[in-house]
Structure 1
Amino acid sequence: MGDSAVDGRGWEEYFAFDEPYANQGDAIERAIEAGEARGYLAMEGPCGTGKTMAALTAGAQLLDAGHYERIVVVTPVKQQLQQFVTDLRAMNAGLDEPLNGISLVGKRDLCPYGREDIFPDDSSVHDRCEDLRENTARLVEAEGDGTDHAPASAAVEAELGDDEQWWDPQIASDLAAAARPDARDQQRLGEGTLGTAGADSPYRPSQPAAPESIADGDDPPLYCPFEADWYARNTGSPIDFGVGEHNVVTAEEYLPASVEYGTCPHRAMSVLLEAADVVIGNYNHLFDPQTRPLLASILDEDTFVVVDEAHRLEERVRDLLSDRVGRQTLTQARNDLNFLLQRARQTDDHRQQVEEVLAAREVPLAAVEQAQQLYDDVLDWLDDRVRTYLDGEFEGWRTDPDQLPQRDHEIPLRDPETVEPDALTEWAEREGYDGGLWRSLPKIGAAVEEAIDTLGLSRTPVCAAVGTIAGQWWERDHAGFLREIELEHAPADERHVDADYEVAYTAGLLCYNCMPSTALRNVFDDLGGGVLMSATLEPLDVFQHVSGLSFLRDGGPDRDPRFVTAATYGLTFPADNRASYLVDCRPFTARNRGDPETMRPLGEAWNPTRDEYAHALRSLARSPGNVLVAMPNYREAAWAGAYLDDAVDKPVLVDESSSNDATNRLKQRFYDGPGKVLVTSARGTLTEGVDYDGEKLSTCAVVGIPLVNIGSPRVRGVKRAYGDAFGDDVAFEYALTVPAVRRARQAIGRVIRGAEEVGVRAFVGRRYCPEARHSVYEFLPENERAEFTQLTPEFLADQLDRFWEQA
């Protein structure tokens, strides 16, 4: 291979189609340029740009030239994940040497026992799977090794590596064989084998316990024969990329194939991804500290990364890097420690056993006692704090809990706009629970879990995970993280609650990440280069700041500058097929519009602002075909839906915050039959990531700027953090306005999805217009601004009629 991409084959050889779209070739070459420079391209390209194929083509060319060893693609949208699979298969169909590709899914989707509900209801699939992995590892451990490898899983494998085989493949093979039913079993029990995903495994459907020939004692542990088979194969996979169409394997192939071979599908996936040229996953695989270890071995300077739907990066990564521990989980961690302490207090022998296991982790029994007391006191502190808050907000709730509102609450533990220690940390210091104890909680929790497991005690502990979160609570800074109590509305039976407020709410401690750009910068700095792309990234200078790319570009005292470039492409579909309007209504602010509950249609409390918007919405809703109206929130959607139900002849559907199943049913009703109006929140799930192709949507109107609740302590904390990082003068824009405009642009982007489609796009509200006070016009891309015509509501109906007559 040569040192430059031009020394390899041209990118046209990897491009799957006869001719690139307009701008697609330029996008490929810009991505190659960034990759050759070991840098990043931030790219905005609307539907029709061909971003997926462009990124894959550029990545394939860079691999061919020897710049990288692999491509890692991450996207938060399942539909887009499938698009990458489809495009990679199309690319491979024309290659003599196809790229090996794999699409990743989570452990819950792959575990045969979990998929078939074999596990008990009181544990998650992930936790149960990890327990079985550890049991299996102990059972297959080679005799005479002299090393205690349990618990196995990621920790042991990372420590030992592939060169030190500590397990006995024959024992593993015997365990797998022991789980297979013989003819007598089938005749006596009347059962066949465990099946899932349309495939039959070689094992009994019940969870097996280790045979006496392998496990000593009266209570042999349960184990996983699929895991044992993986060890028997010396941690290899019995399937390869050939099982997938054009060398791209997905769970539809490697799950049933692994089940039939009797090996762990998740392990098979892990083996395949190590050898893959292209790995396709979701954001968690790259940014979530809990999931990232699956890919850790391939995330390095030889990796070219493609981040799809990158406008979601801040929000998604902020959630992934925020930690919450619920009151019930905190109680369980406290009880884990108390459980072990009670064991130690039973007899001198038990105390000695406990102390010996803890000593191996350099944790004295006194440290467990101190941690247990801390958790106990934190629970009391949490309950007092919640009750004090509810007393101040809802007088009399203790005697009448039904008056508590059915919504979530945030209780900040410091002034969100001031960088200072939180109330829990200050309380802990006053009580003598210093940083040394908090920092030791992860170690104490891990030692207690190991003791419970080693001593064969019947308990599924959580104290290690809680200890990690507690340690981070103390260690994390107060500028980038906001600590608060979160009350989630989740009514419970009074007979099953520990605290009186739990009849209405579930409380939790939340350490909220206000500033994800530092973590993003570190992730991107560890990789070779890549492309971050979306249909709505503008303004690109803002995106580069909040995504951490500007830190890479500018370098710093401890890092060299990295190459970072940007590109924006316009919509390439015929301009005559779309009409785009900025409807100049007075700003749709809470002050102007009043409370929607008292502004019902045709009522006496009607006001001038709502009159203007009613006029505009009525005109837009009467457009032919399906019309989507995106309001700032669900309360306003209810108002607009009620008004339009009286004002237009079409059926009007009103979305509300609900389950995915309910939303999908509503969406299907919208698609079926003649034209309808669907009213929703611009911050809901129907305005982003939904492909209204063909005739599913003809008009979309976004009303107002869909800002999040700017009074929320969490949002105020984000604004403060952005002010510290980027300057107070741009904090509101970076943290709130730009993401809201991207939301609005995502919504109107649902209309035109193909070259033959015809439709109307409308931003309704004065703040979208140039020269308006607090205008967001500058946050629209330059090529997009040129397409929009500004008008007032009274002229809208005639303009719409004229457009549809000519369409």
Structure 2
Amino acid sequence: MAETNGHMRFFPYEEPYDNQREAMDRIYNAFARGQDVLFEGACGTGKTLSSLAPALEYAREEDKTVVITTNVHQQMRQFVAEAREITQEESIRAVVFRGKGSMCHIDVGFEECQVLRDNTYEVVDAERDLRELEQRQQELLEAGQEGDDRAMDARSAVMDELDSVQETVESLEDQNTCEYYYNNLAGDNDEFYSWLYDDVRTPDDIYDFAEEQMLCGYELLKDGMEGVDLVVCNYHHLLDPMIREQFFRWLGRDPEDVIAIFDEAHNIEGTAREHASRTLTENTLDSALDELQDSDDARAEPAYNVIAAFRRALEETYEDAFGFGDREKVGDNWEDVSISNDDKRDDLTLNFLQQYTGKGIDTELDLAVHLGKELDDRYEEAYKNGEATTRQECQTLQAANFVQSFMAEGTELGQYPVVAVRRDEATDQVYGRAELYTCIPREVTADLFGEVYATVLMSATLRPFDVLSDVLGLEDPVSIAYGLQFPEENRRTFAVESPALFSSERGNPETQDAIAGVLRDAVEFTAGNTLLFFPSYAEAERYYDRLNREFGSRDATLYRDEPGTSVEDLRQRFVTDENAALFTSLWGTLAEGVSFDGDDARTVVVVGVPYPHLSDRMEAVQEAYDRTFADRSGRDSGWEYAVEIPTIRKTRQALGRVIRSPEDFGVRVLVDKRYTQLGERKMRKYSVRETFPPEERAEMIDIGPEKLKFAMLNFFTDRGAWDGSPPTP
């Protein structure tokens, strides 16, 4: 039985690890001081409970609510499991919250849902008034029949009001309403809430229960979140400012009454950028122009003029960017085209200014926005009154708002204009998208961290802490770090002195021969399955094809991950094999948030230093970081903050896919001399070894390419891992 004093009452197991006990104490003390916490812990350090237990204790003492959030589905399931374990020891009210889209029983969008909710509430409210008036008139009738003249006079007035309300109810019958939400409002929901808090229910549990009862589980959950101890949710509930405001209102909490725990917090940087960035597609522009052509409002002509000019500029910009054969290569995923130039503005803005002729861009955009708002109000009223079967969104309003922001903010520090193209699968036509990309995530996250009482940011790969604090806008956080707690003799980390796989070297036959030889040895001398991560899917395919030919007569099954295929199906086939190798990109979905426990994989290989494609977008982030953080570091802040550190975090995440428990064992291999001490001495600025934390560097064993197979053979032999005779070097 767990201890019952202080935060240990929320720890559901017999005894915490030493590092867990220390971490819980330090996190609790940080909360007492109102500080944020950066918590890096390798797999097996028990980060979730180390953060949850002190958070729940402090929240109970100080009347606050704990919100734990992640962007990884597997982690969401783990949080539910941990919460259920906690409830076995200490009673807590916990809910698991997910976006409306996945919980709607009638599959409508946000705007439609809002109208349906309002309409349904009006109907139920009017019906309630009608029942109360009917009951009142009946009471007055009975009193009048007993000789009370005043009652009969009062009943006459009630009957007039009753007729009026009856007319209202009849008029509302034509409105669009939601039957599920109607049942929420009209019925007794005690059974639902009794069931909800009897355990920790998942969104799928809630959906199924509500479907059986013809209830809207999403709205019931929203209405019932007030007074809960713990909420499990997705990143966007906190990172999107508008959703966050609503979310806290559903909780019945002010931001300063919330303790937020972010799991996989190394992903906050990228996710915050996604939430802050705004886009406008060519299709939306076309729809806006159609909408304006159908309008007889005087503002429609100037609105059409300015939006049509932006539409022409967008098409001209991406068409001019195409080289010979580029249009034919465009696929069904968005691809950026270069629009930067030596001028102060980008190609899209310059083309827009050239295309536009009229009374003034600002004036006509203001008219477009005002007209758009009126049209949007009309669409809502039409849906509300049952004149339309769907809630139409105003394309003019979306287009005008975006173009206003694009022109006003496009030159601000941290805002970067982007144009992308893709191919429509249905029509096979190429079309474009304009985007205002947010380079500096703290423009989103600093407000959040300033609003809530305190946060814990936890991950296996947060360091260097000072860089993370700068990028996200954290002030004076407490930092905690624990390395792998499992026995060192159960793992080896080899840094292979193979050629540096610069992008310019990838086509070199000698480099390919050397790397292929290392990979062949790594696969052959692994007692079990091997995971191989590459800088791109193209590189993964290159070495998959080569080793597939070479392993044709050997007992090894090779799998290749590629975009557009089911990763989970592939993973299942791979882990059920006994001697397999899986080739994938480090920037794919298998590099983090996916466990390969025990025999699932015994070796993980990272090939090269897998820097992302250095596009204009990435260069804009570097430039923004250089200008923002130059005074905080004597080094190249843009490259270090935007490229090198995130890349090494991804590499460390990939290495963490194996050795997931104290009994587990395995090998991690880094294939590129930039990881080695030799590379550190000879390659200097190109070396990345110093970017790893000290204890991880200390475990790296430099090894020649020809010696790797002997080292791996010895390691797995010492652990009795071979099923039969080991391979012969």
TM-score by length of 2: 0.84
Distance, in Å, in 2 between the alignment partners of 1:443 and 1:111 is: 32
Please state if 1:614 is matched with 2:566.
Answer: no
CA deviation digits over 1:366-389, x for unaligned, max 9?
444432332223222222223322
Q: 1:524 — aligned with what?
A: 449
Conserved 8 A contact 1:700-1:747: yes
Aligned pairs for 1:773-784 within 5 A: 773=684, 774-784=686-696
SS of aligned partner of 2:653: helix
Following superposition, the deviation at residue 666 of structure 1 comes to: 1.5
Moved more, 476-485 or 255-264: 255-264
Name the amino acid aligned to 1:783: E
1:394 aligned onto 2:296: no
In the alignment, does 2:702 pair up with 1:790?
Answer: yes
More helix by share: 2
1:592 paired residue number: 505
* 1:471-529: CA deviation from partner (whole Å, max 9, x where unpaired): 43234352211112210233443xxxxxxxxx342311111111111211111100100
Q: Is the 8 A contact 1:237 1:271 kept in 2?
A: no
Residues 1:132 and 1:584: Cα distance change in structure 2 (over 3 Å): same
SS in 2 for 1:273: coil
Superposition map of 1:647-796 within 5 A:
647-648=550-551, 649=554, 650-659=556-565, 662-710=566-614, 712-727=615-630, 729-770=636-677, 771=680, 772-773=683-684, 774-796=686-708
Match of 2:117 in 1: 133
Matches of residues 234-273 of structure 1 in structure 2 within 5 Å? Answer: 238-239=190-191, 242-244=194-196, 247-273=199-225
Q: Report the Cα distance in structure 1 between the residues aligned to 2:271 and 2:567, rounded to whole angstroms.
A: 21
Change in Cα spacing, 1:245 to 1:48, as seen in structure 2 (3 Å) is farther
Q: Which residue of 1 aligns with 2:381?
A: 454
Alpha-carbon distance, 1:796 to partner: 0.7
For 2:672 and 2:18, the matched residues in 1 are separated by 33
Counterparts of 1:14 and 1:253 in 2: how far apart (Å)?
Answer: 24
Task: Map 1:483-498 to 2 at 5 A.
Answer: 483-493=417-427
* Equivalenced residues, count: 660
Where do 5+ consecutive residues of structure 2 fail to align? 134-165, 720-729
Matched-pair contact (CA < 8 Å) for 1:270–1:294: no
**Compared CA separation, residues 404 and 10, structure 1 to 2 (3 A):** closer
Shift of 1:419: 7.4
Indicate how the Cα distance of structure 1 residues 110 and 409 shifts in structure 2: closer, same or farther if over 3 A, else same.
closer
Map Cα deviations across residues 272-294 of structure 1 (whole Å, 9 max, x no partner). Answer: 22331111101110012453344
Who is 2:73 aligned against? Answer: 78
Superposed CA offset, 1:743-789 (max 9, x none): 11111100011111111001111121232432111221111111111
1:440 & 1:81 partners in 2: Cα distance?
46
Q: Structure 2: how far apart are the matches of 1:171 and 1:696?
A: 65
Q: Which amino acid aligns with 1:265?
A: G
Q: How far is the alpha carbon of 1:442 from its aligned partner? A: 4.8
Q: Note if contact 2:27-2:54 (Cα within 8 Å) is conserved in structure 1.
A: yes
Render the CA deviation track for 1:408-454: whole Å, top value 9, x for unaligned: 43234444996779436645876544335546655542321112343
Does 1:303 pair with 2:258?
Answer: yes
In structure 2, the residue matched to 1:582 is 495
Q: Do structure 1's residue 221 and structure 2's residue 175 form an aligned pair?
A: yes
Call closer, same or farther: CA 1:644–1:240 in 2, change over 3 Å: same
User: Does structure 1 residue 105 correspond to structure 2 residue 87?
Assistant: no
Partner of 1:324: 279
How far is the alpha carbon of 1:139 from its aligned partner?
4.2
Q: Is the 8 A contact 2:84 2:199 kept in 1?
A: yes
The corresponding residue for 2:712 is 800
Task: Give the Cα–Cα distance (whole angstroms) in 2 for the partners of residues 48 and 787 of structure 1.
Answer: 18
Measured on the aligned residues, the alpha-carbon RMSD in Å equals 2.9
Change (3 A) 1:394 1:273: farther
Instruction: Quote how far apart the aligned CAs of 1:582 are.
Output: 0.9
Distance 1:448 1:407 in 2: 32
2:625 and 2:244 map into 1 onto residues whose CA distance is 26
CA distance in 2 between counterparts of 1:172 and 1:721 reads 63
Aligned-pair CA distance for 1:593: 2.5
Matching residue's letter, 1:63: A
For the Cα contact (< 8 Å) 2:331–2:422, is it kept in 1? no
Aligned to 2:478: 565
1:801 counterpart letter in structure 2: L
Q: What is the aligned partner in structure 2 of residue 385 from structure 1?
A: 317
Quote the residue 1:201 is aligned against. none
Counterpart contact for 1:240–1:272, Cα < 8 Å: no
Shift of 1:621: 0.9
Deviation at 1:225, TM superposition (A): 2.0
How many angstroms does 1:223 deviate by? 1.2
1:15 to 8, 11, 19: 11
In structure 1, what is the Cα distance between the partners aligned to 2:189 and 2:129? 17
Measure how far apart 1:169 and its partner are. Answer: 4.0
State the shift of 1:270 in Å: 0.7
> Is residue 238–residue 258 contact of structure 1 (8 Å, CA) maintained in 2?
no
Does the residue aligned with 2:11 lie in a helix, a strand or coil? Answer: coil
- Say whether the 8 Å CA contact 2:462–2:649 is kept in structure 1: yes
SS at match of 1:646: helix
Alpha-carbon contact 1:627-1:699 (below 8 Å) kept = yes
The alpha-carbon distance between structure 1 residues 171 and 588, as it changes in their structure 2 partners (threshold 3 A), is farther
1:49 aligns with 2:64: no
Structure 1: gaps of 5 or more residues: 1-7, 115-123, 143-167, 175-210, 343-364, 494-502, 554-563, 595-605
8 A contact 1:239–1:257 mirrored in 2:
no
User: Displacement of 1:103 after TM fit?
Assistant: 0.4
Q: Is the 8 A contact 1:334 1:372 kept in 2?
A: yes
- Equivalence for 2:230: 278
Shift in CA distance, 384/428, structure 1 to aligned 2, threshold 3 Å: closer
Query: What is the deviation of 1:684?
Result: 0.7
* Aligned partner letter, 1:330: L
Instruction: Give SS of 2:255's match.
Output: coil
Contact kept in structure 2, 1:443 and 1:467, CA below 8 Å: no
1:639 paired with 2:542, answer: yes
Q: Do the aligned residues in 2 keep the contact of 1:100 with 1:278 (CA within 8 Å)?
A: yes
Change (3 A) 1:492 1:431: farther
Native 8 Å contact 1:517 1:548 kept in 2: yes
Pair 447,609 (structure 1): closer, same or farther in 2 beyond 3 Å? same
Contact 1:651 1:677 in 2 (8 A): yes
Structure 1 residue 173: Cα displacement: 12
1:469 to 388, 402, 416: 402
Structure-2 change in CA distance of 1:407 and 1:100 (3 Å): closer
Indicate the percent of aligned positions where both proteins have the same amino acid. 27
248 and 242 in structure 1: CA distance in 2 versus 1, 3 angstrom threshold: farther
CA distance change for structure 1 residues 725 and 672 in 2, over 3 Å: closer, same or farther?
same
How far apart, in 2, do the equivalents of 1:416 and 1:656 lie? 37
Distance 1:414 1:239, change over 3 A: farther
Question: For each residue in 1:628-663, what CA deviation from the matched residue of structure 2 results, as whole angstroms up to 9, or x when unmatched?
Answer: 11010011001110121133321111111114xx22
Question: 2: CA distance between counterparts of 1:416 and 1:288?
Answer: 34
Contact 1:631-1:702 at 8 Å conserved across structures: yes
Q: Matches of residues 191-202 of structure 1 in structure 2 within 5 Å?
A: none
Matched, 1:410 2:336: yes
Structure with max Cα Rg: 2
- 2-side partners of 1:136 and 1:311: how far apart? 42
Corresponding residue of 2:29: 33
SS in 2 for 1:312: helix
Equivalent residue for 1:146? none
